[in-house]
Amino acid sequence: MALEKTLYIGPFIHCQDLTTLDICQNGMIGVDEDGKIAFISRSEEAQEVSKQDGWGDAKVVKIDGTGFFFPGFIDTHIHASQYPNAGIFGKSTLLDWLNTYTFPLESSFTDLDKAARIYNRIISRTLSNGTTTACYYATIHVPATNLLADLCLSKGQRAFVGRVCMDSALSPDYYRDESPLTSYHDALACIEHVKTIDPTFSLVSPIITPRFAPSCSKESLNLLGKLHAESHVPVQTHLCENEAEIQLVKDLFPDSKHYTDVYDSAGLLTSKTILAHCCHLSADERSLIKSKNAKISHCPASNAALTSGFAPIRKLLNEGLTVGLGTDVSGGYTPSILAECREALFTSRQLCISSGAGAVKREDDVKLSVEEALFLATRGGAKVVGLEDKIGGFEVGMDWDAQMVRLNLADDELSEDVGLVDIFGHESWDDRVNKWVYGGDDRNTVAVWVKGRLVHRRRGWRG
């Protein structure tokens, strides 16, 4: 589908590096018919030159009022099938939560009408919250998983879609793969399906998804490792989420050096592997993950909700590990990566308090900054999914995966429809970004594009 050449005019903001926002107040970004960034102008003068250079008749999308363009968010860990349970977890922790809330819901995805309703909804919700790329866990069902891939493609969301593999006796009778070979063949069937709808995985990619070590037999892990080696399709799974789970893995895999080694021994730990949670990695595990260049998805809302633990993000970053953010719906209550940024910021502060250094400055570097949270949500996530050359920032040659953010000027009449952020006029650009991160929601994301295609717009917004 050919797109119109488009000029996006107005302030734009993206992450230059982990700690620095690049804020351009007079920006113009030219996006070509393939949805790629053709040029970037950073001043009004440069805009005039650019317009003369073959872009005079391009479509124009302009920021009205107080707002900016920002890269689309990347959700590196979300269970699409669990969305109806978002916010429902009581006082459970991981292992009882799975049995009480999660497996009963996931097992119902034999019903394709139900699957369609839920998958349509979660894709719309994540898009409307600015998520342009999502790494989805589906269920064990091939038809419903394929449906999720179809829906992502038709709604235009960049996605990794994983058929969940779980064959171990620890999985419930009513919801598990019959055998290791079932895990392998059904995973393969979903890969083959995506090849038929998006042969080059240009928008939607399959992803090999062993649920987590306790759900999988050694044999099935080995088969999935073989599939990974044969197909070059990426892998996603869970690692070191909570302490009871880690003990369980020790008991189930007595010959493995540690939890990370379970995946490594099966050939599942590579540069194309996304490991969710990683709250309790040993130094040896961190070093192994780094040597394999595997990636980490930080899911702070879920880790707090299920009291799984504090992932030591500062330490992981300092050691050179690659980290992105994941909402982990429905361990996490929110499908919004912006909300997840808040959770990451607060979790880093709670970890700082818990280390006994809250009131003094000496552990200030445990705290994440707003800039760092936004980096994890964009550039960091892009690295986690292996697309750092295509998405996560605004650079010439990258795809236009972006959102238009609008902030509201505080005036006399309150209208809830424009969101909770109030700009009084004294705020610097940094302040505005802070207000957006702490107070913003989907109402501030008025339009969303993936590969140059408009995939969401708020009612009343005209592109």
What does the longest C-alpha to C-alpha distance in the chain come to? 68
Residue of the chain from 437, 448, 450, 455 that contacts its own copies (CB under 8 A) = 437
Number of residues that bind its own copies (CB under 8 A): 73
Cβ closest to its own copies, residue 4 vs residue 111: 111
Residue of the chain from 54, 65, 172, 358 that contacts its own copies (CB under 8 A) = 358
| In the complex, minimum distance from the CB of residue 38 to its own copies, in angstroms, rounded to a whole number | 31
Pairing of strands 445-450, 402-409: antiparallel
**Could you give the angle at the alpha carbon of 433 between the alpha carbons of 431 and 438, nearest 5°?**
95
| In the complex, minimum distance from the CB of residue 144 to its own copies, in angstroms, rounded to a whole number | 16
Residue of the chain from 120, 182, 265, 287 that contacts its own copies (CB under 8 A) = 120
Contact 294, 270 (CB under 8 A): yes
Cβ closest to its own copies, residue 232 vs residue 426: 426
E strands, 177-327, are: 204-206, 209-210, 235-239, 273-277, 295-298, 322-325
Tokens 């393969």 identify what position?
Answer: 188
Residue of the chain from 56, 91, 196, 251 that contacts its own copies (CB under 8 A) = 91
Stretch that binds its own copies, among 163-171, 177-185, 236-244, 263-271 (CB under 8 A): 236-244
E strands, 334-435, are: 402-409, 422-423
The footprint of its own copies on residues 309-348 (CB under 8 A) is 309-310, 333-334, 336, 342-343, 346-347
Distance CA 382, CA 314 (A): 19
The footprint of its own copies on residues 22-61 (CB under 8 A) is none
- Three-state secondary-structure class, residue 73: strand
Distance CA 152, CA 262 (A): 32
| Residue 140 CB-density burial (10 A; 0-12 exposed, 13-18 middle, 19+ buried) | buried
Is residue 169 within the footprint of its own copies (CB under 8 A)? Answer: no
Distance CA 418, CA 160 (A): 31
* Number of residues in the chain: 463
For residue 38, the tally of other CB atoms under 10 A from its CB is 21
The footprint of its own copies on residues 122-141 (CB under 8 A) is 124-125, 128
Is residue 352 within the footprint of its own copies (CB under 8 A)? Answer: yes
Residue of the chain from 218, 349, 388, 429 that contacts its own copies (CB under 8 A) = 349
The footprint of its own copies on residues 365-394 (CB under 8 A) is 367, 369
Identity at 332, one-letter amino acid code: G
For residue 382, the tally of other CB atoms under 10 A from its CB is 25
The footprint of its own copies on residues 243-302 (CB under 8 A) is 243-245, 301
For residue 252, the tally of other CB atoms under 10 A from its CB is 17
Residue of the chain from 52, 173, 320, 426 that contacts its own copies (CB under 8 A) = 426
Which tokens sit at 292? Answer: 């394999």
Cβ closest to its own copies, residue 265 vs residue 350: 350
* CA proximity to 273, closest of 227, 340, 333, 318: 227
Cβ closest to its own copies, residue 234 vs residue 309: 309
Is residue 435 within the footprint of its own copies (CB under 8 A)? Answer: yes
Stretch that binds its own copies, among 49-57, 170-178, 379-387, 410-418 (CB under 8 A): 410-418
For residue 187, the tally of other CB atoms under 10 A from its CB is 30
| In the complex, minimum distance from the CB of residue 128 to its own copies, in angstroms, rounded to a whole number | 6
| In the complex, minimum distance from the CB of residue 457 to its own copies, in angstroms, rounded to a whole number | 10
Residue of the chain from 207, 304, 377, 384 that contacts its own copies (CB under 8 A) = 304
Is residue 463 within the footprint of its own copies (CB under 8 A)? Answer: no
The footprint of its own copies on residues 182-221 (CB under 8 A) is none
Cβ closest to its own copies, residue 178 vs residue 416: 416
| In the complex, minimum distance from the CB of residue 442 to its own copies, in angstroms, rounded to a whole number | 5
Cβ closest to its own copies, residue 119 vs residue 449: 119
| In the complex, minimum distance from the CB of residue 433 to its own copies, in angstroms, rounded to a whole number | 9
The footprint of its own copies on residues 56-85 (CB under 8 A) is 83-84
Which tokens sit at 313? Answer: 């993000």
The footprint of its own copies on residues 99-118 (CB under 8 A) is 117-118
Distance CA 438, CA 373 (A): 11
Distance CA 230, CA 377 (A): 31
Is residue 409 within the footprint of its own copies (CB under 8 A)? Answer: no
Is residue 308 within the footprint of its own copies (CB under 8 A)? Answer: yes
* CA proximity to 401, closest of 393, 409, 389: 393
In sequence order, the β-bridge partners of residue 268 are none
